Amino acid sequence: MTETRTPLRRHTLPVIAVLTAVVLIWYAAAVWLNAPQVSERLEGIGEPWGWRELVNGTWSMERPVLPAPHQVADNWWTSVFDTAVDSPRSLIFHAGVTLGATVLGFALGMALGILIAIGVVHSAVLDRGLMPWIIASQTIPILAIAPMVVVVLGSMGYPPLMSKAVISMYLCFFPVAVGMVKGLRSPDTLQMDLMRTYNASAVQRLFKLRLPAAVPFLFASAKVAMATSLVGAIVGELPTGAQAGLGARLLSGSYFGQTIQIWSALVMAALLGVALVAAVRATENATNRLMGARA
Protein backbone atom coordinates (compact mmCIF):
# COMPACT_ATOMS: atom_id res chain seq x y z
CA MET A 1 0.00 0.00 0.00
CA THR A 2 1.75 3.12 -1.20
CA GLU A 3 -0.18 5.59 0.97
CA THR A 4 0.72 3.85 4.23
CA ARG A 5 4.45 3.99 3.50
CA THR A 6 6.44 6.37 5.64
CA PRO A 7 8.80 8.93 4.05
CA LEU A 8 11.66 6.87 5.52
CA ARG A 9 10.66 3.80 3.56
CA ARG A 10 9.90 5.71 0.39
CA HIS A 11 13.03 7.86 0.22
CA THR A 12 15.74 6.74 2.60
CA LEU A 13 15.75 3.01 2.01
CA PRO A 14 16.32 3.15 -1.78
CA VAL A 15 19.14 5.65 -1.29
CA ILE A 16 20.80 3.43 1.32
CA ALA A 17 20.40 0.35 -0.88
CA VAL A 18 22.05 2.05 -3.87
CA LEU A 19 24.80 3.55 -1.72
CA THR A 20 25.59 0.15 -0.19
CA ALA A 21 25.81 -1.44 -3.63
CA VAL A 22 28.12 1.33 -4.87
CA VAL A 23 30.44 0.97 -1.85
CA LEU A 24 30.61 -2.81 -2.23
CA ILE A 25 31.40 -2.58 -5.94
CA TRP A 26 33.96 0.12 -5.20
CA TYR A 27 35.78 -2.10 -2.64
CA ALA A 28 35.78 -4.98 -5.09
CA ALA A 29 37.11 -2.75 -7.86
CA ALA A 30 39.86 -1.48 -5.54
CA VAL A 31 41.01 -5.06 -4.95
CA TRP A 32 40.92 -5.85 -8.63
CA LEU A 33 42.72 -2.69 -9.84
CA ASN A 34 45.36 -2.55 -7.08
CA ALA A 35 46.07 -6.28 -6.92
CA PRO A 36 48.91 -6.36 -9.53
CA GLN A 37 51.01 -3.82 -7.60
CA VAL A 38 50.27 -5.37 -4.21
CA SER A 39 51.03 -8.93 -5.29
CA GLU A 40 54.29 -7.76 -6.87
CA ARG A 41 55.28 -6.15 -3.59
CA LEU A 42 54.28 -9.22 -1.55
CA GLU A 43 56.33 -11.42 -3.88
CA GLY A 44 59.27 -9.07 -3.32
CA ILE A 45 59.10 -9.56 0.45
CA GLY A 46 59.35 -13.29 -0.13
CA GLU A 47 57.08 -14.44 2.72
CA PRO A 48 54.05 -16.65 2.02
CA TRP A 49 50.88 -14.60 1.49
CA GLY A 50 47.18 -15.29 0.88
CA TRP A 51 43.89 -13.56 0.15
CA ARG A 52 43.86 -11.76 3.50
CA GLU A 53 47.24 -10.07 2.89
CA LEU A 54 46.32 -9.21 -0.71
CA VAL A 55 43.00 -7.59 0.21
CA ASN A 56 44.45 -5.69 3.16
CA GLY A 57 47.23 -4.45 0.91
CA THR A 58 44.92 -3.22 -1.84
CA TRP A 59 42.82 -1.25 0.66
CA SER A 60 45.72 0.54 2.38
CA MET A 61 48.14 1.68 -0.35
CA GLU A 62 49.59 5.17 -0.19
CA ARG A 63 49.19 5.80 -3.93
CA PRO A 64 46.63 3.26 -5.12
CA VAL A 65 45.30 3.10 -8.67
CA LEU A 66 41.84 3.20 -7.04
CA PRO A 67 41.71 4.16 -3.38
CA ALA A 68 39.26 2.29 -1.14
CA PRO A 69 36.18 4.25 0.06
CA HIS A 70 37.40 4.48 3.66
CA GLN A 71 40.72 5.96 2.50
CA VAL A 72 38.87 8.65 0.54
CA ALA A 73 36.47 9.27 3.42
CA ASP A 74 39.37 9.55 5.86
CA ASN A 75 41.23 12.03 3.64
CA TRP A 76 38.03 14.00 3.05
CA TRP A 77 37.24 14.15 6.77
CA THR A 78 40.76 15.30 7.63
CA SER A 79 40.88 18.00 4.95
CA VAL A 80 37.42 19.30 5.85
CA PHE A 81 37.29 19.13 9.65
CA ASP A 82 40.86 18.74 10.91
CA THR A 83 42.48 21.43 8.75
CA ALA A 84 42.41 25.20 9.22
CA VAL A 85 39.96 26.73 6.75
CA ASP A 86 42.58 29.17 5.36
CA SER A 87 45.12 26.39 4.77
CA PRO A 88 45.80 25.28 1.16
CA ARG A 89 45.18 21.72 2.41
CA SER A 90 41.60 22.53 3.42
CA LEU A 91 38.92 21.27 1.07
CA ILE A 92 36.57 23.87 2.54
CA PHE A 93 38.95 26.55 1.30
CA HIS A 94 39.15 25.06 -2.21
CA ALA A 95 35.42 24.40 -2.38
CA GLY A 96 34.77 28.00 -1.33
CA VAL A 97 36.93 29.34 -4.18
CA THR A 98 35.13 27.12 -6.72
CA LEU A 99 31.74 27.96 -5.20
CA GLY A 100 32.30 31.69 -5.74
CA ALA A 101 33.10 31.23 -9.45
CA THR A 102 30.21 28.74 -9.88
CA VAL A 103 27.59 31.02 -8.35
CA LEU A 104 28.83 34.13 -10.17
CA GLY A 105 28.98 32.23 -13.49
CA PHE A 106 25.51 30.80 -12.87
CA ALA A 107 24.08 34.26 -12.19
CA LEU A 108 25.71 35.67 -15.34
CA GLY A 109 24.57 32.66 -17.40
CA MET A 110 20.98 32.93 -16.16
CA ALA A 111 20.92 36.66 -16.95
CA LEU A 112 22.44 36.15 -20.42
CA GLY A 113 20.19 33.16 -21.19
CA ILE A 114 17.02 35.01 -20.16
CA LEU A 115 18.00 38.12 -22.14
CA ILE A 116 18.74 36.05 -25.25
CA ALA A 117 15.42 34.21 -24.90
CA ILE A 118 13.48 37.48 -24.54
CA GLY A 119 15.22 38.82 -27.65
CA VAL A 120 14.60 35.64 -29.65
CA VAL A 121 10.90 35.53 -28.72
CA HIS A 122 10.30 39.19 -29.61
CA SER A 123 12.37 39.49 -32.76
CA ALA A 124 12.12 37.26 -35.82
CA VAL A 125 15.57 38.49 -36.89
CA LEU A 126 17.17 37.32 -33.65
CA ASP A 127 15.17 34.08 -33.79
CA ARG A 128 16.60 33.21 -37.20
CA GLY A 129 19.98 34.95 -36.87
CA LEU A 130 21.06 34.24 -33.31
CA MET A 131 20.00 30.65 -32.62
CA PRO A 132 22.45 29.02 -35.10
CA TRP A 133 25.35 30.92 -33.47
CA ILE A 134 24.22 29.92 -30.00
CA ILE A 135 24.07 26.27 -31.01
CA ALA A 136 27.45 26.54 -32.76
CA SER A 137 28.93 28.06 -29.60
CA GLN A 138 28.11 24.89 -27.70
CA THR A 139 29.85 22.60 -30.18
CA ILE A 140 33.26 24.10 -29.35
CA PRO A 141 34.94 22.05 -26.61
CA ILE A 142 35.19 24.18 -23.50
CA LEU A 143 38.72 22.87 -22.86
CA ALA A 144 39.80 24.52 -26.11
CA ILE A 145 38.64 28.00 -25.22
CA ALA A 146 39.08 28.00 -21.45
CA PRO A 147 42.83 28.84 -21.60
CA MET A 148 42.16 31.68 -24.06
CA VAL A 149 39.48 33.17 -21.82
CA VAL A 150 41.84 33.00 -18.85
CA VAL A 151 44.72 34.60 -20.77
CA VAL A 152 42.64 37.35 -22.39
CA LEU A 153 40.72 38.34 -19.26
CA GLY A 154 43.88 38.01 -17.16
CA SER A 155 45.77 40.40 -19.44
CA MET A 156 42.88 42.84 -19.12
CA GLY A 157 43.45 42.81 -15.38
CA TYR A 158 40.45 40.77 -14.27
CA PRO A 159 40.93 38.45 -11.27
CA PRO A 160 40.86 34.65 -11.83
CA LEU A 161 37.36 34.59 -10.31
CA MET A 162 36.08 36.55 -13.29
CA SER A 163 37.65 34.36 -15.98
CA LYS A 164 36.30 31.20 -14.30
CA ALA A 165 32.86 32.77 -13.99
CA VAL A 166 32.94 33.69 -17.70
CA ILE A 167 33.75 30.09 -18.62
CA SER A 168 30.87 28.91 -16.41
CA MET A 169 28.57 31.47 -17.98
CA TYR A 170 29.56 30.32 -21.46
CA LEU A 171 28.50 26.77 -20.57
CA CYS A 172 25.33 27.49 -18.64
CA PHE A 173 23.56 30.24 -20.60
CA PHE A 174 22.67 27.67 -23.26
CA PRO A 175 20.19 25.46 -21.37
CA VAL A 176 18.68 28.62 -19.88
CA ALA A 177 18.22 30.28 -23.29
CA VAL A 178 16.70 27.15 -24.85
CA GLY A 179 14.39 26.49 -21.89
CA MET A 180 13.29 30.10 -21.65
CA VAL A 181 12.49 30.42 -25.36
CA LYS A 182 10.15 27.47 -24.93
CA GLY A 183 8.79 28.86 -21.66
CA LEU A 184 8.15 32.37 -23.00
CA ARG A 185 6.26 30.80 -25.91
CA SER A 186 4.22 28.48 -23.67
CA PRO A 187 1.13 30.71 -23.10
CA ASP A 188 -1.81 29.37 -25.14
CA THR A 189 -3.84 31.28 -27.74
CA LEU A 190 -6.62 32.25 -25.33
CA GLN A 191 -4.17 33.63 -22.77
CA MET A 192 -2.48 35.69 -25.52
CA ASP A 193 -5.84 36.81 -27.04
CA LEU A 194 -6.90 37.99 -23.60
CA MET A 195 -3.89 40.32 -23.46
CA ARG A 196 -4.80 41.60 -26.93
CA THR A 197 -8.36 42.41 -25.86
CA TYR A 198 -6.86 44.50 -23.02
CA ASN A 199 -4.61 46.28 -25.52
CA ALA A 200 -1.64 45.28 -23.32
CA SER A 201 1.82 46.53 -24.30
CA ALA A 202 4.66 44.12 -25.15
CA VAL A 203 6.25 44.87 -21.77
CA GLN A 204 3.00 44.07 -19.94
CA ARG A 205 2.60 40.85 -21.93
CA LEU A 206 6.16 39.92 -20.97
CA PHE A 207 5.87 40.59 -17.26
CA LYS A 208 2.24 39.59 -16.65
CA LEU A 209 2.01 36.56 -18.93
CA ARG A 210 5.17 35.28 -20.63
CA LEU A 211 7.59 35.41 -17.70
CA PRO A 212 5.24 33.86 -15.09
CA ALA A 213 4.32 31.15 -17.61
CA ALA A 214 8.03 30.46 -18.19
CA VAL A 215 8.91 29.94 -14.51
CA PRO A 216 8.62 26.10 -14.54
CA PHE A 217 10.84 26.01 -17.65
CA LEU A 218 13.32 28.38 -15.99
CA PHE A 219 13.79 26.13 -12.97
CA ALA A 220 14.17 22.99 -15.09
CA SER A 221 16.94 24.80 -17.00
CA ALA A 222 18.44 26.28 -13.83
CA LYS A 223 19.13 22.83 -12.38
CA VAL A 224 21.05 21.82 -15.49
CA ALA A 225 22.76 25.22 -15.62
CA MET A 226 23.90 25.04 -12.00
CA ALA A 227 25.54 21.64 -12.46
CA THR A 228 27.12 22.81 -15.73
CA SER A 229 28.36 25.98 -14.09
CA LEU A 230 30.22 23.92 -11.46
CA VAL A 231 31.87 21.89 -14.23
CA GLY A 232 32.81 25.15 -15.96
CA ALA A 233 34.41 26.59 -12.83
CA ILE A 234 36.46 23.41 -12.24
CA VAL A 235 37.53 23.27 -15.90
CA GLY A 236 38.51 26.95 -15.63
CA GLU A 237 40.87 26.06 -12.77
CA LEU A 238 42.58 23.23 -14.66
CA PRO A 239 44.59 24.83 -17.49
CA THR A 240 45.77 27.90 -15.64
CA GLY A 241 47.99 26.63 -12.91
CA ALA A 242 45.52 28.03 -10.44
CA GLN A 243 46.63 27.84 -6.83
CA ALA A 244 43.16 27.49 -5.36
CA GLY A 245 39.90 25.76 -6.15
CA LEU A 246 38.78 22.15 -6.54
CA GLY A 247 40.20 22.08 -10.07
CA ALA A 248 43.62 23.15 -8.78
CA ARG A 249 43.37 20.47 -6.11
CA LEU A 250 42.60 17.84 -8.77
CA LEU A 251 45.50 19.03 -10.90
CA SER A 252 48.08 19.06 -8.08
CA GLY A 253 46.86 15.60 -7.01
CA SER A 254 47.53 14.25 -10.48
CA TYR A 255 50.98 15.94 -10.69
CA PHE A 256 52.10 14.16 -7.57
CA GLY A 257 50.21 10.90 -8.04
CA GLN A 258 48.10 11.63 -4.96
CA THR A 259 45.11 9.59 -6.07
CA ILE A 260 43.47 9.72 -2.65
CA GLN A 261 43.61 13.54 -2.79
CA ILE A 262 42.06 13.52 -6.29
CA TRP A 263 39.20 11.31 -5.20
CA SER A 264 38.54 13.28 -2.08
CA ALA A 265 38.40 16.51 -4.16
CA LEU A 266 36.03 14.73 -6.57
CA VAL A 267 33.78 13.75 -3.67
CA MET A 268 33.83 17.37 -2.53
CA ALA A 269 32.87 18.55 -6.03
CA ALA A 270 30.01 16.05 -6.14
CA LEU A 271 28.74 17.13 -2.72
CA LEU A 272 29.00 20.78 -3.78
CA GLY A 273 26.99 20.02 -6.94
CA VAL A 274 24.31 18.19 -4.97
CA ALA A 275 24.06 21.08 -2.49
CA LEU A 276 23.84 23.70 -5.27
CA VAL A 277 21.14 21.82 -7.20
CA ALA A 278 19.28 21.27 -3.90
CA ALA A 279 19.42 25.04 -3.34
CA VAL A 280 17.88 25.61 -6.80
CA ARG A 281 15.18 23.05 -5.99
CA ALA A 282 14.43 24.74 -2.64
CA THR A 283 14.09 28.09 -4.45
CA GLU A 284 11.78 26.41 -6.97
CA ASN A 285 9.56 24.99 -4.22
CA ALA A 286 9.34 28.36 -2.47
CA THR A 287 8.49 30.07 -5.78
CA ASN A 288 5.84 27.47 -6.57
CA ARG A 289 4.20 28.07 -3.22
CA LEU A 290 4.14 31.82 -3.91
CA MET A 291 2.60 31.15 -7.32
CA GLY A 292 -0.19 29.02 -5.86
CA ALA A 293 0.90 25.69 -7.29
CA ARG A 294 -0.84 22.51 -6.19
CA ALA A 295 0.79 21.26 -2.99
For another protein, the binding residues (CB under 8 A) are 188, 190-191, 193-200, 204, 208-209, 212-213, 215, 291-294
Q: In the complex with another protein, which residue's Cβ is closer, 125 or 290?
A: 290
Least distance to another protein, CB of residue 197, Å: 5
Q: In the complex with another protein, which residue's Cβ is closer, 54 or 195?
A: 195
Least distance to another protein, CB of residue 114, Å: 18
Least distance to another protein, CB of residue 271, Å: 34
Q: In the complex with another protein, which residue's Cβ is closer, 115 or 213?
A: 213
What's the 3-state SS for the chain? CHHHCCHHHHHHHHHHHHHHHHHHHHHHHHHHHHHHHHHHHHHHHCCCCCHHHHHHHHCCCCCCCCCCHHHHHHHHHHHHHCCCCCCCCCHHHHHHHHHHHHHHHHHHHHHHHHHHHHHHHHCHHHHHHHHHHHHHHCCCCHHHHHHHHHHHHHHCCCCHHHHHHHHHHHHHHHHHHHHHHHHHCCCCHHHHHHHHHCCCCHHHHHHHHHHHHHHHHHHHHHHHHHHHHHHHHHHHHCCCCCCCCHHHHHHHHHHCCCHHHHHHHHHHHHHHHHHHHHHHHHHHHHHHHHCCCCC
Q: In the complex with another protein, which residue's Cβ is closer, 155 or 197?
A: 197
Least distance to another protein, CB of residue 19, Å: 37
Least distance to another protein, CB of residue 290, Å: 9
Q: In the complex with another protein, which residue's Cβ is closer, 29 or 192?
A: 192
Least distance to another protein, CB of residue 187, Å: 9
Q: In the complex with another protein, which residue's Cβ is closer, 159 or 212?
A: 212
